[in-house]
Amino acid sequence: MDTTQLLKGVLDLAVLAVVRDEDGYGYDIVRRLRVAGLDDVGDASVYGTLRRLYQAGALKSYVVASEEGPHRKYYGATPAGRDLYETWVKKWRGFAEAMDVLIDVPERETA
Amino acid sequence: MTTATSETAVTDADRYLKEIAPHLAALSAEERAELLDDLAQHLREIAAEPGPPLAERLGSPATYAAELLASAGVEPGGPPRRPLSIRATSMARRARGSAVGHEMVRLWPVLRPAWWVARAYLAVSLVAATEHTGGYRETPLPRLAGNHVLGLLAVLVAIPVSVRLGQRNLSRPGRLAVNAGNVVLVIYALSLLGRGGPGPTDAKLFSLPAAPAGRECLLNGSGQPITNLYAYDADGRLLDPVLLFDQNGQPVDNLCQGFDERGRRLSTDVRQDVNGALVPNAFPQHQSTVSPVEGGGLRPGIAGPDATVPVKPPAVVVPRLAPTTVPPPG
């Protein structure tokens, strides 16, 4: 199965999950997602998600000047973003449990 | 692997951006300019990180643009498609853009508890209004079962309940219910603003007292409507009837419409002269509370007493007058 299709549905949650404790800039957020195991995550998708979440008020952003390279735009979760995160976590848990049950049934039957 | 210098990173990013730009034609000019401006900075950030040129790292500009538009909630050739919750917060965000909105957002953490208290009051006030008690607004305190104390108690109980609701992390159905209630109360509050204050909801009944057509009715020094006049002699005896005229000899006939404490119009028996003509300046006017049907304007289904009850003269303390030293005119 193409994991990018799976990612589409959960990218909002994944992005909020990586910035909820520590703010990060675009590339850094992509890296954190990949380190966490989401290897197929694309920069464009993450960047688009960041913009959308920012426009929705779920993220705040600020620019940090850098002497060595370009300025970096950092993103962090707003209180609304944290609420959204909690909501999606609950949805995800319910969804994942349902999927686990679905996936486990044939295994038990064949076991 | 190469480490990009600041300069080559900017060049690489700008070149890649230029190739993306044509694929964003579906956006409005303003949206596109804003996105490109922001994207330029993002691409420079990536280009500054160690790694191959952007085209290798990010794939084709066309794919990048399509992926970006899809994840940003803007599909090429179509309107933005975003989840309802995001659209709602997006609207909130636009509201925050205005100066007032911005100030509201800044103060919201402080204002929230105030809203919790306000909605408790509004909820009780709404219940009181649907109970159809009230009439004139002598006090902003809602009356429950015609009783101010009950109204006050209800408000005092409602406040901690409302605050608790505000502080708790509610389940989704709970939150939906609370939000729906909030909307109702806000609409009710706006209707109060439009009407000038809490009170029963029947506009016909509870509009300001009506004077005879086209004229203003009499108000006392406190701005309260005068609905009847009582004359007493020096010994404190009520004179009934007296005929009152103003300084121009015109009959005083512009009293305000009276209402009883439940907000119903008072019925007035206007006196007649010997020829049967109405004498509107004969006081006190004989007034009585009336049944809902006779009163007119009451909402159907609201019960009231069937019998008419005469309005009693007010309890007054008639001062002892000093002897008159100025001879009466004439």
The dihedral over CA atoms of B30, B36, B37, B41, expressed in degrees to the nearest 10, equals: 160
Give the whole-angstrom CA distance, residue B255 versus residue B219.
8
Give me the pLDDT at residue B330, please.
52
pLDDT class for B75, splitting at 50, 70, 90?
low
Residue range B115-144: average pLDDT?
A: 72
Partner-chain contact B49 A27, CB within 8 Å: yes
pLDDT class for A11, splitting at 50, 70, 90?
very high
Give me the pLDDT at residue B92, please.
62
Residue range A29-53: average pLDDT?
A: 93
- pLDDT over 90 (residue B19): yes
What residue has token string 């004139």? B136
Could you give the percent of chain B with pLDDT greater than 90?
5
pLDDT class for B134, splitting at 50, 70, 90?
very low
Reply yes or no: is the peptide bond before residue B241 cis, omega within 30 of 0: yes
Residue range B150-155: average pLDDT?
A: 86
Name the B residues in 53-72 with CB < 8 Å from any A CB.
57-59, 63-65, 67-72
Give me the pLDDT at residue B71, please.
87
Instruction: Let me know if A61 is exposed, middle or buried by CB neighbors in 10 A (0-12, 13-18, 19+).
Output: middle
Give phi and psi for A59, each to the nearest 5: -125, 150
Give me the pLDDT at residue B110, please.
73
- Residues of chain A with Cβ-Cβ distance to B64 below 8 Å are 42-44
Residue range A37-48: average pLDDT?
A: 92
Give the whole-angstrom CA distance, residue B302 versus residue B35.
61
Partner-chain contact B6 A49, CB within 8 Å: no
Give the whole-angstrom CA distance, residue B295 versus residue B298.
7
Could you give the percent of chain A with pLDDT greater than 90?
70
Q: Are B39 and B20 in contact (CB under 8 A)?
A: yes
Among A45, A52, A72, A93, pick the best mutation site for testing chain B contact (most B Cβ within 10 A): A52
What mean pLDDT value characterizes chain B?
Answer: 74
pTM (two decimals): 0.42
- pLDDT over 90 (residue A54): yes
Q: What is the pLDDT of residues B244-292, one digit of tens each?
A: 888 888 888 888 877 777 666 777 777 888 777 778 888 888 888 765 4
Give the whole-angstrom CA distance, residue B103 versus residue B93.
13
Give the whole-angstrom CA distance, residue B217 versus residue A21.
67
Give the whole-angstrom CA distance, residue B19 versus residue A108.
53
Three-state DSSP state, B286: strand
pLDDT class for B17, splitting at 50, 70, 90?
very high
Q: Between these two residues, B223 and B83, which has the higher pLDDT value? A: B223
Partner-chain contact A56 B82, CB within 8 Å: yes
Give the whole-angstrom CA distance, residue B43 versus residue B306.
81
Partner-chain contact B64 A44, CB within 8 Å: yes
ipTM over 0.90: no
- pLDDT over 90 (residue B311): no
pLDDT class for B34, splitting at 50, 70, 90?
confident
Give me the pLDDT at residue B198, please.
52
Tell me which residue in B41, B58, B90 faces A55 most closely, judged by beta carbons: B90
Partner-chain contact A44 B65, CB within 8 Å: yes
The gap from C-alpha B9 to its chain's centroid, in whole angstroms, comes to 56
Partner-chain contact A69 B9, CB within 8 Å: yes
